[in-house]
A and B are shown apart, each in its own frame.
Chain A
């Protein structure tokens, strides 16, 4: 039986876009006979033995997938901490480790803003002996909003198709196909509309929290 391990890198306690993207990919892998398991980064780090257990779970799998939101042009700190911990447990670079793929989502409409984060993932693979199987980047991740992709509507049709293709390829032992990368990176809505909706969203959220008049505060000035 082939095994896949998903590490969800969102620090959110509840539903997250990273979790939704990862879960959809795992479902596709399961359709191709891959047994899948999910770990959440916060749970791994909360447990003193968590990093050692994660390293063992990765070594027992054929495919390791990390799905995370872009934080400050890079990986969220807890994911960096997990990568540091895995590298420390594994020690010097060695071959024979499973394949590794990454799924990144960001709130900017341009998926290309995730390029640096994907390059760091590729570098992590190279330095720890994982076999890089490619990455997918999604811009405008707010459109998913943490909902399961099956219930996120037609706007995420390309996202689903990209993950269908990636899941099939990864299950066959292949890398994430280029056509999946391009589909995933296609803007979900025109940029002008994204900006309009995005800026309106922040205004409405601040109103809900009674902070509308303080939106432009400079507490450290």
Chain B
């Protein structure tokens, strides 16, 4: 049986060498964990900003009205077994290349509302959604930053109906073996490759 695909959205920007090294290590650890990993470097893909027109819900349901690189990324994301957000941590959140891609992926859910755990969210569009792993890269110890990043990934997992998710910040100033151990822990948290 072929290995399940892990699709890595690489949100690094020009000059993010340290975060890029974390993405490289992540791809290696995904392979070790049995995933067939493929990454897309988002800064090399033409992705226009979401215009907030909701055309992907009411004009061309399930597909953004803008025809650019985001369409293929969206297709690959929903077809994967594990969707990975790999990004430098920017003010506790995602770097702009990753955020551009995610803003364009709201077509993966239905416009219709439902209540989940007392909160309103959008309904499923697809019968199956990938697991979600958020890997942030940042320098130094900062508990508040790390908690904010994890909260953001948790909120995204809820809205993207990810059955299982994990998130954490990998420190770029730590030795390689410590970073690998952290990545392995995150991969364990998100579950074995099927």
Contacts and interface: CB of A to CB of B under 8 A. Distances in A.
A94 interface: no
A74 B125 contact: no
Contact of B58 (A120, A209, A220): A209
A220 B93 contact: no
Nearest to B106: A72
Contacts of B96: 77, 80-81, 84
Contacts of B100: 77
Contacts of A90: none
A110 B61 contact: no
Contact of B91 (A16, A123, A202): A123
Nearest to A113: B119
Interface stretch (B109-117, B170-178, B182-190): B109-117
A116 B91 CA distance: 11
Interface in A68-108: 69, 71-78, 80-81, 83-84, 108
B165 interface: no
Count chain B CB atoms within 10 A of each CB in A16, A121, A205 and give the residue with the most: A205
A218 B111 CA distance: 13
Contacts of A69: 52
Given A76-B49, A80-B90, 8 more contacts: A73-B156, A76-B103, A123-B145, A123-B148, A127-B91, A195-B113, A198-B113, A211-B59
